[in-house]
Amino acid sequence: MSDRHDVLIAGAGLVGLALAPALARTGLSVALVDRGPIATGLTTPEDFDARVYAISPGSASFLRAVGAWQHLATERITAIEAMHVVGDGGAAIDFSAYDLGVRALAWIVEERVLRAALLPLVHAARVDVIGGAAFASLEWAPEEGTLTLDDGRRLKARLIVGADGVRSWVRVAAGLDAALKAYEQTAVVANFACERAHHGVAQQWFRADGSILAWLPLPDRRISIVWSASDALAAELLALSATELADRVAVAGEHALGELTCITAATGFPLTFLKLPSTIGHRVALVGDAAHVVHPLAGQGVNLGFGDAHALAQVEAERGPVADAGAPILLARYARRRAEPVLAMQTVTDGLTRLFRARAPWFKQLRNTGLTAVDRLPVVKRALAQPALR
């Protein structure tokens, strides 16, 4: 283990794990450091992770290029073939993979399953890995950054990448921080067995109380739910017994799949929004939730993160005679490539959240009329879907 690298990635979440081998394959020496242990959780056929992700076709292509996608257990992946979205006034819009000319709108994959596919690639790429190491300080010199760990080790790199999540320590240490905006909502997630088959259809309801309920297909007759609810409603849902929660979710979803049985404990995640003036600085770049946070109503958070990883790895692969991985010209290229797609997704998700939380009757009429109109215009639907597919 060297104490000097071209790139040091702070944070071993899914985005950091994918970025490390992608950068290493460009000829850079890479270290991956995390405050927690860097390991995979064991899974069994009956054991499903409550935290799942909707992986877009674009993210799947990146993960395939990294080498992870082809090693995912097929029995743990479910394709979203179609999506049915219902507004709070009864209007609806449907998206179909067939109509859009793609194999799937997205694939639902558990967090642990993705980690299990990515971690061996990190080691195979000869990335130096340090887990269970708290960050103590971050210092900058003209040619490098130095991360000091709480055990006294000092790691130097031409580029420090902050991949350490919503409450990023690196973001604060680099002076790139901005205040998180609380949505005053909590995402309640849990998995359920269903009475009827879901046929690969994801469903979402914008409810009259301002909450948003999504059902995501899991293998066989199972679904994962994300109920973005007010903090008060979320507390009420999390206090229910497994049977009571299953009944509540079934009723809220209009019994679309019959009776439900809870198969994982419900967990809540507070929802926030983060938009930074810049995601780069001197010798530092931010990726994933350290760089931007969006509402989960479109399921695009991790896809934006994989887009960051893909863009940064591409910039480094195309660096030509620029040997310095943290050169300002390279970081500026990365920031430019990510500015438009991130801003577009933030604008759409935050705008929809505000639109469906507005209580004025004319707002309700407007948003439901809009859903109906878009559903009747295939060209508009395709234009809306393409950024999420990419």
| Per-residue tokens: 273 | 């929004």
Residue closest to 23 by CA, chosen among 290, 305, 314, 281: 314
Q: What share of the chain is helix, strand, coil (3-state, %, to 5)?
A: 40, 30, 35
Given this model, what pLDDT does residue 1 score? 59
Q: Residue 163: what residue type?
A: A
Given this model, what pLDDT does residue 363 score? 63
Are 122 and 130 a contacting pair, CB within 8 Å?
no
Report the CATH superfamily, name and number, of domain 4-355: FAD/NAD(P)-binding domain (3.50.50.60)
Cα angle 357, 266, 385; round to 5 = 50
Given this model, what pLDDT does residue 362 score? 65
List, in order, residues 6 or more apart from 107 with CB less than 8 Å away: 54, 55, 60, 77, 78, 79, 80
What's CA 137's distance to the chain center, in Å?
A: 27
Are 234 and 268 a contacting pair, CB within 8 Å?
yes
Given this model, what pLDDT does residue 34 score? 96
The Cα–Cα gap between 357 and 48 comes to 32
* 30: three-class secondary structure by DSSP: strand
Given this model, what pLDDT does residue 99 score? 86
Given this model, what pLDDT does residue 380 score? 63
Write the secondary structure of 91-124 as one string of H (helix), E (strand) and C (coil). CEEEEEHHHHCCCCCEEEEEHHHHHHHHHHHHHH
* 149: three-class secondary structure by DSSP: strand
Report the greatest alpha carbon distance in the chain: 63
Alpha helices in 240-320 (DSSP H): 242-252, 301-317
Given this model, what pLDDT does residue 43 score? 64
Residue closest to 4 by CA, chosen among 128, 180, 122: 128
Per domain, the residue ranges of the chain are 4-355
Per-10-residue mean pLDDT for the chain, 390 residues long? 90 97 97 90 73 94 97 92 88 88 93 94 96 94 96 96 97 94 95 97 92 95 96 97 98 96 96 95 98 88 96 97 96 97 89 73 70 68 69
Are 169 and 184 a contacting pair, CB within 8 Å?
no
Are 388 and 307 a contacting pair, CB within 8 Å?
no
Phi-psi label, residue 252: left if phi above 0, alpha if psi -120 to 50, beta otherwise: alpha
Are 70 and 191 a contacting pair, CB within 8 Å?
no
Given this model, what pLDDT does residue 45 score? 64
| Per-residue tokens: 52 | 């799942």
| Per-residue tokens: 125 | 């790429």
| Per-residue tokens: 62 | 């990146």
